[in-house]
Amino acid sequence: MTLYLLKFSACLGLIYLFYKLCLENENFHLFKRYFLLVGLVLSTTIPLVSFEIPWYQEHVMEIVLPIKNANPIDGKIPSIEPIQPNEYPTVEMPIWFYIYGLILGVLLTRFLRGLYLITRKAVMNEKLVHQNAHLVLIEEKIAPFSFWKYIFLNKSIYQTKGIESDILLHELTHVKQKHTWDILFVELFLIVFWWNPILYLYKKAIQLNHEFLADKEVLAHTQVPIYQQLLLQNATGNALYLTSSSTFSITKKRFLMMTHHTSVTARILRGVACLPLILVLIAGFSDWSLGQKIEKKTQKPAPIPIDAANQTVKYKISKIFFAKGEKNPTVIKGYAELTSVELEALKHPLMFTFERPTDEMLKIWTHPRCGIWINEKHVPYQTLKKYTSKDFSHYFVSRLAKNAQVGKRRYQIDLMTNDFFENVYKKKALENPFIVYTVGKGANQEQYRIELIKE
């Protein structure tokens, strides 16, 4: 959690710094509005994103188990001790956790109270419809401000002098562009991350940009000096918490922005510059780790040393695929009768390779749709919960034909534990290896299998 909070603060700080240096003083305020909002989302989510880089380690193993010296298989499968679940120790929450929760509760109460007070003012006071907004006339002597679809005005001033059209248009722009949602959004962040000083600066930047947007709309209908004088005359009274007001931050920066122009080229360049910033944030603050090691062991069986003088070993040569109605030609040969192709095939017996499943695969297979065979024995699928990926050396997945499906079972998963793979399967595979060779090419290609027969 501490690391996440540090990454969140660093992301937010870099986004805010980029905004201050490259965007704040430029006159394309709508882009800046969405940049600031997306920046909050990215600061929150990027530290949660994780990338795994797969890596491989290949082992080449030379297996030397001559047939004539192979020990007989007793058929016993090594027993596997079930993995006991870890016991989770009880954790006592530190004192700072309760302090954080207390302050969060206070701020959340303040937030809800602010919503209640504004809503109460809107409900209890006289309202007039003006375009897409509601003018709320209140007794307090305040500067005009807006919240959601309501514009709050001093009742006596409105009824005697009236409200200047430019001020009203300013507040109406806040309503039409829904600036209230931005303020509520950042305020929720402030409640959760109240300890982060950057967020308070970030909120001010969002509110100031709202004023830039509203000022721009007003200046399309009036002259700059007249509007600036009007703002100074109305710079009295305080707006409520969570609201937007034309009197927010009447500073030299806001006045200078009214006459500032940003060229199209500058807008494009600054907009494109946001992309490298996002890439830097992802590269620097997301979670990069080496994925689970995928071990690939290449089984390289040694040529099977057959003694030509050993007359107890015969070789059964049979065709694998043959035409319908054709009898499967089977020939029994001695070593001296084997052709050069058959002798070469003896040097390359086929064996399953070391192929370890991942932990994610085991989770997926722990399901009624999967039939589980471990060390050539069928077990309930729940048995996989006792194992991790490191307990296995080989797996094979097959989809069951309809006539082989039982209940919900649709797949068959064959697994070999490390001991079974090393001490049982390899010996069986070399004692009676699977040897295949091909004769011919294209349409005339034929495949044959060689089986060892001991007399």
What digits encode the pLDDT tens for the residues 14-56?
Answer: 999 999 999 999 999 999 999 999 999 999 999 999 887 665 4
Give per-residue pLDDT as tens, 274-303: 999 999 999 999 987 655 555 555 555 444
- Domain ranges across the chain: 2-53+95-285, 294-454
Which of 357, 290, 355 has its CA nearest to residue 54? 290
Q: Which two tokens stand for residue 355?
A: 């192929």
DSSP H or E stretch at residue 290: strand 287-290
Which of 86, 77, 85, 88 has its CA nearest to residue 386? 85
Residue 222 has pLDDT above 70, yes or no: yes
State percent of the chain over pLDDT 70.
81
At position 143, the amino acid (one-letter code) is A
Least confident segment among 48-62, 90-104, 336-350, 373-387: 48-62
Q: Are 151 and 130 in contact (CB under 8 A)?
A: yes
Q: Taking residues 87-102, what's their average pLDDT? A: 74
Report residue 290 CA to chain centroid gap: 15
Residue 57 has pLDDT above 60, yes or no: no
Which residues are CB-neighbours of 164 under 8 A, at least 6 positions away? 230, 234
Q: How confident is the model at residue 322 (pLDDT cuts 50, 70, 90)?
A: low
Query: What mean pLDDT value characterizes the chain?
Result: 82
CA atoms within 13 A on the CB side of 165: 6
DSSP E strand stretches across 324-400: 330-333, 354-355, 370-374, 377-379, 392-399
**Neighbour-count burial of 265, counting CB atoms closer than 10 A to its CB (0-12 exposed, 13-18 middle, 19+ buried):** exposed
- Cα separation of 308 and 334, whole Å? 9
pLDDT score of 110: 96
Which residues are CB-neighbours of 23 under 8 A, at least 6 positions away? 31, 32, 35, 270
Q: Taking residues 342-353, what's their average pLDDT? A: 76
Three-class DSSP category at 370: strand
- Cα separation of 309 and 226, whole Å? 114
Q: Which two tokens stand for residue 39?
A: 């920046």
Q: Taking residues 112-126, what's their average pLDDT? A: 95
Q: Taking residues 154-161, what's their average pLDDT? A: 90
Tell me the C-alpha to C-alpha distance, in Å, between residue 311 and each of 41, 314, 333: 78, 7, 11
**Neighbour-count burial of 452, counting CB atoms closer than 10 A to its CB (0-12 exposed, 13-18 middle, 19+ buried):** middle
- Cα separation of 155 and 306, whole Å? 109
pLDDT score of 92: 64
How does DSSP assign 114-148, residue by residue? HHHHHHHHHHHSEEEEETTEEEEEESS----EEET
Check: pTM over 0.95? Answer yes or no. Answer: no
- Cα separation of 78 and 88, whole Å? 30
Residue 306 has pLDDT above 90, yes or no: no
